Structure formats: C-alpha cells, structure tokens
Amino acid sequence: MTDVDFDVVVVGSGRAGTAAAYKLATEGLDVALVERAKQPGMKNISGGVLYGQILAELVPEFPEEAPLERHVVEHNIKLLHGDAEVSIGYRDLALREEPNYTLMLGKFDQWFVERAVDEGAIFLPETTVTDVSQHSDRAVVHTDRPNGDLSCHAVIGADGVNTTVGRATGIQRTMRNEDMALSVKKVLDVGRDTIDERFNLDSDEGAAYIYTGYPEDAPTIGYFIYTFEEYISVGAVGGLETLRWLGEQGYGGTGTPLYGLLEEFMELDTVRPYVQGDALEEYQGILVPEHSYDTLPDRYDRRVALVGDAAGLVLNKGYTFRGLDYGIKSGLEAAEAAIERTRDGNWDAFGRRYDERLENSYVLEDMKQHRHLPEFLKNERMYGAYPGIATETLRGMYSAGSDAEGLTWKQAFRAFQQSDAGVTDLLKDGFRGFRSL
C-alpha cells in the first residue's frame, strides 16, 4: 500500500464536502477537510430551503441536533406585472412529515463540520489550495501552508463554482457568463412575532416565496424571500448574460447591478410589506452555476471528483431552487466511490466510479428529466407577456367596470390580443413548457 498522509483530501467545507468527509470518517478512512476560511460557513450566504431527506439518511438525528430555522410548510410563486401580482400558493401541514427546513448556512455548516470531526475527520481551516497534482501512485494537494503538501489516494473538490481543484487538474475550463448566475441576499432582523404575523405562520412553520417578472421581459432574473426563526432572507438571482445587457450601467460599464434590482424589488408595493423597516444583519453575494443537464461541465479525472457547485449541480426549477441536497448527495456518491476503492485498491478508477454512481443518482436523473427547463426559463415572454395576460384576464374578471363585461374566455382572448405574444408563440411555448416538466 502506498504511504500517503490521508486516504482522501476534501477541499471545501460546505454541505457537499462535509457530507463526503463525514461519510468517509464513519467508515474509518483517514480524511482531511480543507477550508480556506477561518471557520466553516464564513464564505457561505445565509441560505434557502434544504430538502433534507438525503441528510436524514446520513445523520438521522439531524432534525433534533442541527441548528435549523423553520419547517417549510408553505410555498408561493408570484408573477409580477407592473403594480399587479398573480400568486400561486401551496400550504400543506403534511409537509411537516418531510425534513425540509430553511437554513442559515453559516451556523449549519459549523455544526456539520463539528459532526464530521467527531467522527474522525481532520479539519484544516485557513488553508488555501494552490494546486492539485496526480501521480502514478497518489495525488497531492498543494497548499499555502509551510510544508503544506497533502498526499492522498484521492481528492474530492467541493470548492464552489470557481473550483481551484477543477481548474488545476484541467477537468474544467474557465466558466463562461452563460454558465453562471449571481445571487445577492440580505438577511433582515425581523423577530419571530413579526414574521409569524406578516407571513401568517404559527410556531416554527416556515414559508418560501419565489418572484419573477421584474423588470419586465428580463429572463433569468428572479427573487426570493425565506423565513428563518428570527430573520428573513430576501434576495435576487440573475444570469450573468442577462445582467450584462440589462440597463445602461453596471458591470464593466454595461448591464444593471443586481444589488440595484434587489433594492428596487424590495420597494415594490406588493413586496414592501414583507421586508420594510428592519435592521440589516447580512448582505452578501456569490456566483452560482447555471447549467442544464446537457451543458454540465466535466467532473472527474483518475483520482479527482468534483461535487456540488464545483460540478454545476444546481437546478432552478422556476418554482424552487435545488442545490443544497444535490451537493450532499454528490458528496456521498464520491465518498462511496472512495470506500469501494479501499476494498480493491484501484484508486485510478475512483473518478470514473464516482461519475457512474452520480449518473445513477436522483440528482442527475432529476436534471436529465428537466434538461429543457433552463432554456424554457430564458424565454422573455415568461417575464412579460404571459404575466401580463394573466393580470389583464383577472383584472377583467374582478373589475366592476365595463371591462368586466363578457365571458371569461373573451376577457382572456382580449388580454392575449393586447400582449406581444402571438398564437404561434403560445403553442410553441406551451409545448416547450410541457416538455421541460
């Protein structure tokens, strides 16, 4: 057996990397978890919804022990058009039977890393990875520490969208604008009672709000509000390609800065009641991957596997964002591939085996099923014409004036005629929408 410092070195202590380190440690492997920040979670933005079934399988006691915020029992989709809003809401107390929670990632990541350390993982904070090399009998993770090279059988890169591991090993090219989105978030100190009153929630119930349609005709720009125990998170996500051309100022002299759109969104009449008058706790931004199944980057080499955001495993479904659980699952698949290699000693097959396991997991099955959805969501009519048609139809239905005359289908047809969408557009978009589900 080759003499190495560790069986596996995991780079990045977010959910994906820590899940891998936790699983490997419980199976008795020597694992190092490398993090450039002083402590876990310092570079993570206060989060969203964790669909936690995969974590419950790994750490069954996590709902009782982890620093969770609220149990999500309500989801809302809100289409904006001018001063109007069309809402689709789903509230179901049966969701309490599912381990889905809002998270503040800084607190959660610290807890998760502590659990991995308890199981035997070695945590190395304030350690920046500068390079990764593969040799005939080992891999080496080069760091900025004195004598800081870490030799190992395999490397798991969980270091985010601009992955050093992926670029150093040649697995990934530099990401393009069309492959990335920017997310900016504010965390506002509101207080439990105010949250319960504003969002009509009881006890530890939580809600998630997804908005689209502002500014009009701007594809891939969306907004969200998540309720935490004492705070709310309000933020915006925008594809870099859209932000580049949207407006007259911003990045590199072109485009609209996303933080400006977030401020405008928070001043909308339909949004302000949820977010007004509260102290700012955090304000951060981060790049996130924005791929379809067909544009996913390469994610492995002989002794290297990329997981989570580093592998592009995030999916905007339009009505929810999936990424936290995808990261955990991919980290576990990498860990299982490493555990298999300890049995047969064929570490050169580690990366390929990880990729095979990931292809057969629900993560890539889900992304494959929704492979056409990202392209569908880039359709400008989804952010202007169709919310406008819905608004005008409902305005006609509920107005007491002359516009309320006529059958509902006539009102809808009149609204359609006034929009920028044609019959051919409607048929094509309907087919694309059906295909993307």
pLDDT-wise least confident of 194-198, 236-240, 246-250, 402-406: 402-406
pTM assigned to the model: 0.90
Q: Is the dihedral of CA 396, 398, 404, 410 positive or negative?
A: positive
Spatial separation of the C-alpha atoms in residues 63 and 331, rounded to whole Å? 20
Task: Give the Å distances, CA to CA, from 369 to 196, 313, 376.
Answer: 36, 14, 13
Average pLDDT over the chain, rounded to whole? 87
Average pLDDT value for residue range 76-103: 90
pLDDT number for residue 132: 97
Nearest to 204 by CA among 73, 317, 104, 377: 73
Task: Give the Å distances, CA to CA, from 328 to 8, 158, 316.
Answer: 17, 10, 17
> In this predicted model, what pLDDT tens digit does every residue of 4-14 receive, in sequence order?
999 999 999 99
Q: 381: Cβ–Cβ under 8 A, 6 or more apart, which residues?
A: 420, 421, 425, 429
Spatial separation of the C-alpha atoms in residues 164 and 162, rounded to whole Å? 6
238 close to 261: Cβ distance less than 8 angstroms: yes
pLDDT number for residue 434: 60
Q: Using only the alpha carbons of the chain, give its radius of gyration.
A: 23
Which of 369, 387, 405 represents a domain boundary (last residue)? 369
Spatial separation of the C-alpha atoms in residues 100 and 114, rounded to whole Å? 21
Co-location of 48 and 168 in the same domain: yes
Question: In 3-state terms, what secondary structure has residue 188?
Answer: strand
Residue 155 clears pLDDT 80, i.e. is over it: yes
| H helix runs in 120-225, sequence order | 164-168, 192-199
CATH code of residue 349: 3.50.50.60
pLDDT band at 239 (very low <50, low <70, confident <90, very high): confident
Co-location of 161 and 193 in the same domain: no
Co-location of 146 and 271 in the same domain: no
> In this predicted model, what pLDDT tens digit does every residue of 373-382 receive, in sequence order?
877 777 777 7
Co-location of 141 and 197 in the same domain: no
User: What percentage of the chain carries pLDDT values higher than 90?
Assistant: 57
CATH code of residue 228: 3.30.9.90
Q: Which domain holds residue 409?
A: 375-436
Q: Which two tokens stand for residue 431?
A: 């087919």
pLDDT band at 245 (very low <50, low <70, confident <90, very high): confident
Does residue 93 lie in a domain region?
no
Co-location of 166 and 29 in the same domain: yes
Q: Which helix (H) or strand (E) holds 152?
A: strand 150-157
pLDDT number for residue 47: 64
pLDDT band at 408 (very low <50, low <70, confident <90, very high): low
Q: Which two tokens stand for residue 173?
A: 């090219």
Does residue 303 lie in a domain region?
yes
Does residue 75 lie in a domain region?
no
Does residue 392 lie in a domain region?
yes
Co-location of 110 and 148 in the same domain: yes
Residue 405 clears pLDDT 60, i.e. is over it: no
